[in-house]
Structure 1
Amino acid sequence: MDQLWPCHRGCDPPMEHDRNALIPALSALADSGRLRMLRLLERAELSVGEIASALQLPQSTASRHLKTLMDSGWLSRRSVGTAHLHRLADDPLPEPLRGLWQSARAGLGHSTQLEDDDRRLSSVLAERARNAEAFFGRVGGEWDQIRTQLFGRAFTAEALAALADPSWTVADLGCGTGDAASLLAASVKKVIAVDREPAMLRAAQKRLEDTGNVDFHAADLESLPLETASVDVAFILLVLHHLEDPQKAVNEAARILKPEGTLVVVDMTPHERKEYREIMAHRHLGFSADQLKDWTKHCPLDLAHSRPLRPDPNAAGPGLFVARFSRRENA
């Protein structure tokens, strides 16, 4: 038996070694998204952002598929600056991967989806080749990641807060741990943070202990300890679905707003996740556009604008909306 294989005792026979190497390669071809990806990477060397654009995938999904294909031997990668460019490994592919890919590619056939992939790839490649914007064409889908590595995540929201009028008094109603209050405090005259939960309020106070223009109040949103017409802008962010009667909180927000003041509400669009009632004490499974309009019938607010927020591919919860209400001047 020692003479059957030209290797040291204990080594695997060649056929067994090849079989073990083929298992992950075969497994990687079991996903149609990865097959579409290989089809494009046979034609062009692409960054993860370009692949995500061509296949209309979230970048996180494209990255996950690329890792599987890299680990199973289907792809090679090289770095250009901060970008990583991927292509089908060692053109032509070594056997037996070449035969596997030829069979898999033939099995894809022709479809509208593949034609759309080709059109989007052509657009991606055309954008890359245009002019000095080629860099951003190559790494556009990765730019958020690059920018985050260089500058962090907080600066965009903090910079946008500078749009606020520095003379404003802003009420953060249902402030939680002070996320919104911490962003606004540096840009406005005063922030009033209100929450009914003592633990939340303590966390907010700790977070903002070095900020001198934030007042804290432990109170229900249905009965605010604030003077009428004392606030320029009020925020209610992901709070109303916890309240038995959201209308009362909206009425109170309207009361404390100055004439022509603004109320901003962020909450969930209608959904069917009934388990949220039990596990997170939700009283309402989102709010419809008609419900937003109905609130204005019972208080001196007009619905100026509302729209769904773009979904975050990494978020697990229901969709969100943002609504902006304006207080009637002479109401």
Structure 2
Amino acid sequence: MDALLAALRAAAEPSRLRLLALVAQAPFCVHELTDILGQSQPRLSRHLRLLVEAGLLSRSREGANVWFALAEGPGADLAREILARLPPDAPLLQADRRQAARVLAERARNASECFRRQGAAWDESSELGLSSAVMEDTLLALLPEGNLGRMLDIGTGTGRLLERLAPRISFGLGIDASREMLALARARLADAACHHCRVQLADMYRLPQADANFDLVVLQMVLHYAEEPAAVLREAARVLRPEGWLVVVDLAPHDRVDIAAKLAHRWQGFAETRMTALLRAAGLAIAARREIAAPLPSSPLPVSPLSVSFWAARPAAALVT
């Protein structure tokens, strides 16, 4: 009861209600919120601190920026219940929404310009001749039908996979070590109105999440960059729920040294035996597997084909019948 009363008291102020309504649309950083509401940063920071302390908002630092989003779990549920009682046609809320749309449009323009300058270097699937849509379809075919629950996308990149799976998850979190990638992902998710998805700067070796917190964890084209794949898989398994699914998507073994050097791959693919051993060491067992071949690039020189392997694994205890 104390937590509920604290949350209600925190929300019972006009500026804080406006902040809740804004952050329910998309995560915002402090300078964006000051721009939208036209209030000083010290005043706004105090309101935000009270909402975080009451469990209604979450706070995460990313370089010089501090981002705010609806808290997970009961805090988000309570915030949405409160917001559902606000009149949508209230002039102040309508003005806030217009200002928020302007800020989000500016964010999207900045992200598009950033992608225009550097995006080709980030589009690994295209570089490898792989279709993102085909890869996503193959990944989905490995998973059960219906709602997939809470999803963690490790190495989310531009957030494409979160957007694709958004209709089938209750909550999505994408992490990446690149602020540029996260800017692209935020713009993508905001444009697609994926309000239940967010992204965060984080290290895949030290995930900022509690144990057994996700129903689905995905590592898509990430593990070949890892110095210690076993450590990454152990950490992914740590945040996976007992009945959850871990999906690893990565290259099969190949001899394309040109690709590995150009894209800074640490590993030239993973053999079935090696991946089985890595997953077993993390307490997981393979439940399903697929493989797709990439089309051969046009080249005057002979090149070896590339294949992508998909492994759907679960905690070993979940597969015991």
TM-score, normalised by the number of residues in structure 1: 0.49
Structure 2 counterpart of 1:320, from 286, 301, 308:
308
1:118-157 to 2 correspondences below 5 Å? none
Contact 1:228 1:256 in 2 (8 A): yes
**Cα distance between partner residues in 1 of 2:141 and 2:266:** 32
Give 1:184's aligned residue. 165
Q: 1:167/1:326 Cα in 2 relative to 1: closer, same or farther (>3 Å)? A: closer
Contact 2:148 2:216 in 1 (8 A): no
> Is 1:174 aligned to 2:162, yes or no?
no
Give 1:233's aligned residue. 216
> Is 1:264 aligned to 2:252, yes or no?
no
> Is 1:194 aligned to 2:175, yes or no?
yes
**Cα distance between partner residues in 2 of 1:287 and 1:162:** 21
* Aligned alpha-carbon RMSD (Å): 3.2
1:166 counterpart letter in structure 2: N
Deviation by residue 1:110-151 (Cα, 9 ceiling, x = unmatched): xxxxxxxxxxxxxxxxxxxxxxxxxxxxxxxxxxxxxxxxxx
Q: 1:232/1:281 Cα in 2 relative to 1: closer, same or farther (>3 Å)? A: same
**Cα distance between partner residues in 2 of 1:200 and 1:325:** 27
Deviation by residue 1:29-79 (Cα, 9 ceiling, x = unmatched): xxxxxxxxxxxxxxxxxxxxxxxxxxxxxxxxxxxxxxxxxxxxxxxxxxx
Q: 1:222/1:329 Cα in 2 relative to 1: closer, same or farther (>3 Å)? A: same
1:218-257 to 2 correspondences below 5 Å? 218-257=201-240
TM-score, normalised by the number of residues in structure 2: 0.50
**1:285 Cα deviation from its structure 2 partner:** 0.3
Give 2:274's aligned residue. 291
**1:204 Cα deviation from its structure 2 partner:** 0.5
Q: 1:176/1:269 Cα in 2 relative to 1: closer, same or farther (>3 Å)? A: same
1:14-33 to 2 correspondences below 5 Å? none
**Cα distance between partner residues in 2 of 1:254 and 1:156:** 23
1:274 counterpart letter in structure 2: V
Contact 2:153 2:175 in 1 (8 A): yes
Q: 1:325/1:156 Cα in 2 relative to 1: closer, same or farther (>3 Å)? A: closer
1:38-187 to 2 correspondences below 5 Å? 164-166=145-147, 168-187=149-168
Q: Secondary structure at the match of 2:234?
A: helix
Q: 1:163/1:290 Cα in 2 relative to 1: closer, same or farther (>3 Å)? A: closer
Contact 1:161 1:187 in 2 (8 A): no
**1:255 Cα deviation from its structure 2 partner:** 0.5
**Cα distance between partner residues in 2 of 1:158 and 1:300:** 21
**Cα distance between partner residues in 1 of 2:285 and 2:140:** 28
**Cα distance between partner residues in 1 of 2:234 and 2:208:** 14
**Cα distance between partner residues in 2 of 1:321 and 1:182:** 22
Q: Secondary structure at the match of 2:147?
A: coil
Q: Which has the higher contact order (CA 8 A, sep 6+)?
A: 2
**Cα distance between partner residues in 2 of 1:284 and 1:159:** 25
Give 2:20's aligned residue. none
Q: Secondary structure at the match of 2:167?
A: coil
Contact 1:161 1:184 in 2 (8 A): no
Deviation by residue 1:170-190 (Cα, 9 ceiling, x = unmatched): 111111101110011122100
Q: 1:294/1:163 Cα in 2 relative to 1: closer, same or farther (>3 Å)? A: closer
Q: Secondary structure at the match of 2:217?
A: strand
**1:279 Cα deviation from its structure 2 partner:** 1.6
1:308 counterpart letter in structure 2: E
**Cα distance between partner residues in 1 of 2:246 and 2:315:** 8
**1:162 Cα deviation from its structure 2 partner:** 10
Q: 1:296/1:255 Cα in 2 relative to 1: closer, same or farther (>3 Å)? A: same
Give 2:291's aligned residue. 308
Structure 2 counterpart of 1:206, from 182, 187, 190:
187
> Is 1:276 aligned to 2:264, yes or no?
no
Unmatched 5+ stretches in structure 2: 1-132, 299-303
Unmatched 5+ stretches in structure 1: 1-151
For this pair of structures, how many residues does the alignment match? 180
Deviation by residue 1:184-240 (Cα, 9 ceiling, x = unmatched): 112210011111111111100100013210121211211111111010011111110
**1:307 Cα deviation from its structure 2 partner:** 3.0
1:195 counterpart letter in structure 2: D
Contact 2:142 2:312 in 1 (8 A): no
Contact 2:237 2:284 in 1 (8 A): yes
